[in-house]
Amino acid sequence: MSYCVGVIGCGRWGMKHISTLLEMKKQGSINQVFACDINPKRLESLPQSVDGKFSSWREMCKQISFDLVTIATPNPTHYRLGREIMSMGTHVLIEKPTATSSSEVAKLSQIAAQYSSNLHSGYLLRYHPVVLEAEKKIRRGDIGVVKSIRYVKYSSRNRSAGSNIVSGLASHAFDTVPYLANLRLNPLVLSAVAFSHDELAPLDKASKGNIRLQYKDVQRASNIEVEVTVGWGLDSQFSVTIEGTKNLLYLDLQGDGSLHVDSLNHPPLPLLASNNKSPLESQYQNILSNSELAQSTKESLLTTAQLIDSAASWMKNWYTEYA
C-alpha cells in the first residue's frame, strides 16, 4: 500500500523528515511527499522529487488527502498545529516536544480520540537498531533482572532557541528507558539539577543537567535506579549502560552504534540485518502500517510529558533554593 505524507516546517529537522520520506518514496513504500514552509527560500531549495510545495498548511491540508502530516515547526507552535490538523481527522507526527506542557499533551490526546486521529511524536530512539536489539536481550532475560540504567547524551551543538536540556535532550531518555526495561509506572524523581560551566544555572540558560529517577518494578517488588546526564556544547557522547543481575549491556549510540555485553572492551554483538534502517525510517514504517501503535503511543507521550514537567520543576526549585 502506498501512502501520502505532508511535512510542515522545512528547517533542519524538517529536511531530515523530507529526505527520509523521499528515500522511502524511491523504495515504493510512500507514494507522495508534500512540504510546507512560510519561508519561500526554503521551498525553492527543496528537492525536485517533492510532489508539491505550499506556503500555507491550511491550503495544503485542504487540497491534499494525507495519511499522515508531520509537524516540524518551532516548539511553541506544536500544540496549536497538532490540535487544528487532528480536528480535520488527520493523523499527525509532531516533532519533540509534543507540546509545551503535559496538560497540552493531554488535550491533544483527547482531540485525537474525539476526531479518530492518531497522535505520534518524534521520540524515535526506540527505533534505533541498537536499542531494538538491547530490548530483545533484556526481555529474554539475557542480563538477568535490570538493576540500574545510566543514560548519557552530550551534543556538540549549542542549545537552540526555545529549547532546554530537559525537553530537548533528556526527554528521549524519558521515552526510551521505560521501553527498554518494560516499565509502566511513572518514576519518582529523586533529584534534577541544571548547570552551566559546572555552576547551578536556571533551566533556560543551562547547558548541562543531571536527573536521578527511581522506577518501581512491580513484578519483582524492587526498584530500578536511573541516572540521566545530558549537555550541549560538549564533546559528543551518546551511551546507555544497563546493569542486570547477570551482566551489563553497553549501548554505544553514536553514529550507526554498537551493542556490547559486559563492557565496551568486549567485541560488539552483531545486529540483525532487518534492523539496519534509520530510526526515522523505521518509525515512519511503524506509524503508517500499524494503526494499533497509536494507543500505546498516546499513553507513553503523556507519561513522558509529565516527567518533563516534573524534572523541569525540580531544576527550577533547586536553583531557586541553592543558587
Nine-digit cell string for 277? 534502517
Which residues are CB-contacts of 86 (< 8 A; sequence separation ≥ 6)?
Answer: 92, 108, 111, 112, 115, 117, 119
> What gap in Å lies between CA 241 and CA 249, rounded to an integer?
6
For 154, counting Cβ atoms within 10 Å of its Cβ (0-12 exposed, 13-18 middle, 19+ buried), the class is middle
- Running along the chain, 323 residues long, what does each successive block of 10 average in pLDDT? 92 96 95 97 96 97 97 95 97 94 96 94 92 92 93 92 89 94 87 94 95 83 91 95 92 88 68 68 91 70 94 95 85
> What gap in Å lies between CA 157 and CA 160, rounded to an integer?
8
Task: Give pLDDT, residue 183.
Answer: 85
Each residue of 107-148: pLDDT tens digit? 999 999 999 999 999 999 999 999 999 999 999 999 999 999
The model's pTM is 0.90
Mean pLDDT of the chain: 91
Give the domain 125-322 fold. Dihydrodipicolinate Reductase; domain 2 (3.30.360)
Q: DSSP E strands: which ranges in 140-293?
A: 146-155, 188-196, 199-200, 208-217, 222-232, 237-244, 248-252, 258-261
> What gap in Å lies between CA 210 and CA 70, rounded to an integer?
31
Pair 70, 82: CB distance under 8 Å: no
Write out the CATH class of domain 4-121: alpha beta
Smallest CA-to-CA distance from 274 within 121, 127, 124 is with 127
Each residue of 151-178: pLDDT tens digit? 999 999 988 777 899 999 999 999 999 9
Q: Where are the domains of the chain?
A: 4-121, 125-322
Task: Give pLDDT, residue 162.
Answer: 74
* Three-state secondary structure call for residue 132: helix
